[in-house]
Amino acid sequence: MVKSNLIISLTILTLIFLLSGCNFSKQQPEESPPPDSSEEHESEVDDEQSEEITGESNEKEEFITLPEEGLQKGDEGEAVRILQEFLNELGYSIAITEQFDQETIWALTDFQLQQDDNMEVTGLYDQQTKDSLELVTVGDIEIKPGSALSYEKNASLDEETVELANPYEILALVNKKHALPADYIPDDLVVPDVRFTFVEDNPKKQMRKIAANALEELFAAIDEEDLDLFAQSGYRSYETQDNLYTSYVTTYGEEEANMFSAKPGESEHQSGLSMDVTSPDVDYRLITDFGDTEEGKWLQQNAADYGFIIRYPLGKEEITEYQYEPWHLRYVGIQAAKEIMEQGITLEEYLGEN
């Protein structure tokens, strides 16, 4: 009897043990995390730590898409705004005005000055400048905003005249109210391959490279018409103009001299963008009769195709404050030249400075 009771007790204990083991095995998975959760957590932590160490994210910086059309002083609108925003992305802290203003011209000029010798320094936004700006975005070239040309506003010389802060600008207005700095000497002066009225070496054969190239194209075109055009006087330094003006004042008096000669700093010749031309029909002189020659008439009709204007046209003396000079060519770029010559206006009127 005792033995039978012992067996029954052992059997009951065994059943209780087995039942407890089953309950434990059923509860265990509910307390454990999902099989892959620990691996995903470790991956997230690794990504966060990697970004903290490198300081970089997986997103690449995207630059604004540049305008396709050319832009210059006086332009305004959406394309100008996009250009200004792009320049800000490069580090040029200029105002977003939607106007191609002095700050925008400064930024482009500073950028152009930092490029190689093949870059034309104009202050304009053209295809060459666009291509170079895009190279910055892919890291092919580096720039330091403001390192080539610091930003300054035009400085007052007296009550009527200001000194230009950016003499490199291709549309810079140089006249009796807007003067070039006394120490400004263009650093891209070259001698154009054209005919001159003299053979000796002389600085007045020189022009800025962009104007010299355009003058060569103009001469090539006029040669096809069997006309005889000669270049006579291009670049003049501040000192040379000072001596020339003083001699004219001595000979003719100041009032008369001011009608045909500029004071130092106020001469377009110092800019390197002008060239006086003449022909055999007027004995190679710089006189108003040149406008009636075949060469003079051809220039009136065609000079703009090469970026030049007749700077001091007939009937505009009150605006330019100089006499009619059909021989004086000024380079302003093709777009501006065509608009000026087609409308029969002066550079002053074109820029709204008359």
Confirm whether 325 is a catalytic residue.
yes
Q: Among candidates 258, 101, 266, which has minimal Cα distance to 174?
A: 266
CB distance 210 to 331 below 8 Å = yes
347 touches 173 (CB < 8 A):
yes
- The Cα–Cα gap between 332 and 336 comes to 6
227: left (phi over 0), alpha (psi -120 to 50) or beta: beta
CA distance 311 to 345: 10
Reported as type and span, the H/E element at residue 31 is: helix 2-31
Q: Which residue has the tokens 């394309």?
A: 79
List, in sequence order, every beta strand (DSSP E) within 28-164.
155-156, 162-163
What amino acid is encoded at 49 in this protein?
Q
Catalytic residue from among 268, 325, 339, 348? 325
Which residues does the annotation mark as catalytic?
Answer: 325
